[in-house]
Amino acid sequence: MRAGDGRLSHDLLPGDRGPQDACGVFGVWAPGEEVAKLTYFGIYALQHRGQESAGIAVSDGAQIVVYKDMGLVAQVFTEADLESLRGHLAIGHTRYSTTGSSCWENAQPTFRSTPNASVALAHNGNLTNTRELARRVAERVATDGRMPVATTDTELVTALLASYPDRSLEDSAVEVFRAVRGAFSVVFMDETTLYAARDPYGIRPLVLGRLDRGWVVASETAALDIVGASMVREIEPGELVAIDEGGLRTRRFAAAEPKGCLFEYVYLARPDTKIAGRGVHATRVEVGRRLAIECPADADLVIPVPESGTPAAIGFAQASGIPYGTGLVKNSYVGRTFIQPSQTIRQLGIRLKLNPLRDVIEGQRLVVVDDSIVRGNTQRALVRMLREAGATEVHVRISSPPVTSPCFYGIDFASRSELIANGLTVDEVRVAIGADSLGYVSLEQLVAATTVPASRLCRACFDGVYPVPVDEPELPERQRKHLLEQLEPIEPIEPIEPLDTPPPVHVLTRP
C-alpha cells in the first residue's frame, strides 16, 4: 500500500520538498479500555507527523500482537483489525523516514523477542551515533547469537534493548539510553508494562496524560485531547517512565539539558497543541505580529499559504492593520503523489494543492505569509501564479528566519547545498522567487514569541549550532538516510538455545 505524506505548503512541486516531520508516537496503559481504538485515534491525531506508514502493538499480558502497514492511519486499519487487537496496553506510530528507506520492513513499531519477554518500540527522532550503536549490536550478537535485521536507528535501539536476557527491560533501557546520542522520544512495551523515554536534551516532544482508568503518552497534547486524556506534564529530558499494574514510576538515565526544537513552534506541531504550557496557535499568531513590525509592507491584503501560514498571517494583519483575506484555496485531499508528471505539465504542480481566488486577488497588492523557505522553487511558482491571477504586487513574508543548516535530529530538511538561504542573501532570494519584497522574522523575535529562553531551545537549522555533536554534519541528508544500509554487513552467528521458551507472539501483516 502506498499513500501520501505531508500537510506541507512546501511539498508542491516535484523535487521541491520542504521540511518533513519524522514520526508521531503514542502509548496507552488502560485495563478495561479498548486500547487499540484509543491508539488508533491517538496516532490519527498525529498523522501530520508522519504519513508513510502506521502501526499498532497491543499486549494482553501474555503476548504482543503487532499490526503495521504502509499508508495513512485510516488506510492501514479497519474496524475488524482494531477489534482483533485486544489487550490492556498498546503503542502506536506514524512514520516519516529520516533514517532507512520507506518500506514495510522499516514501519514501526519494531519488535524483538527475548528469552524472558518481548519488546515493541516506536521512535520519534534521529540518532547521531548509529555507527557506534551498530558496533554495539554486533558485539551483542557475538555474545548471545541474535542476528538483528537493522536498517533504521530504531531497529538498532530495539535490538540492543532485547540483547540483555539477564536484565529486566527497564534496566536494559537505562543502560541503552545512556549510550544513545541524538534526538529520541520513544514509547515501548513488553507484555505487561508501558515505557516512555526522552533524550537528555528533550529535542523532540513527549507528554504524559491521565485517563479515568489509565495513562497515555503522546508526541503532542492534541493527541491527549482526542482520546479524552488530561494533560499531566511533559516527560522530562533524560527521564524513563514505566507504567504497569503497580502504577507509574520514573527513573533518570541522564541529567536534563533542555533544548526543545524551535521548528516545532514554526511548523511541525499542530496549532491546537501546547508546548511548555503555551498554545502553538497563540505563538504563531504572535510571531506574525512581530514579523509585521520587523518587516512591514505597503499592501492591500494579507493572505496565508494554507494551512501552515494561517496563524502568522492573522497576526501580521492584526499588527499591520492590513485586512486579512483568503486568497488561496487548498486541496485538503492531496498528499504525496507517486505518479510523476511529465515535463509538459510539471509547472502546473502547484495547482494540485493550491489555487488562487482571482476575485479576491485581482488588482490587489498582496502580503503572502508562509512558515519557511527551503529551496525556493515552490515560492517562485506561487508568486508567478498570483501575478497571473491579477495581483499587482506580491510581498512575501516568512514566519521563521532563513533555514541555513540541515537538521540531524528528526526533520528531513534538504541538504546544506540545496538550502537556498545557505548560499544567497535575502535580496538574492527575493529576486530568485520573483517577489516585490521579502522579509523573514528574526531569530531573536521568533524565540521571544515562544516565551521559552533561547538557552532551552535547539535553533540549529537557523544558526548552525548543534546541541548534540553529529558524526558527519557536512554529509547530505539523503546520504545519511542510508547510513545504516551502507555499514558493513554483520556476519550471522549460529544462535544459542534460549534459557526459556519466549512468550508467543503473532505479527499480523497485510498480504
Q: Which residues are part of the catalytic machinery?
A: 23
Cα(463)–Cα(455) distance, integer angstroms: 13
Cα(437)–Cα(510) distance, integer angstroms: 51
Q: How far is CA 170 from the centre of its chain?
A: 25
Question: Residue 241 burial by CB count (10 A; 0-12/13-18/19+): exposed, middle or buried?
Answer: buried
Of 241, 215, 209, 250, the residue nearest 31 (C-alpha): 215
- Report yes or no: 437 and 395 within 8 Å, Cβ to Cβ: yes
Angle, alpha carbons 325-449-435 (nearest 5°): 45
**Backbone dihedral region of 451: left (phi > 0), alpha (psi from -120 to 50 degrees) or beta?**
left
Of 206, 209, 241, the residue nearest 220 (C-alpha): 206
Cα(163)–Cα(353) distance, integer angstroms: 47
- Report yes or no: 144 and 136 within 8 Å, Cβ to Cβ: no
Angle, alpha carbons 23-28-34 (nearest 5°): 115
Long-range contacts, stretch 179-182, CB < 8 angstroms, 24+ apart: 179/129, 179/132, 179/133, 179/136, 180/127, 180/129, 180/133, 181/127, 181/128, 181/129, 181/132, 181/468, 181/469, 182/125, 182/126, 182/127, 182/128, 182/129, 182/153, 182/408, 182/409, 182/468, 182/470
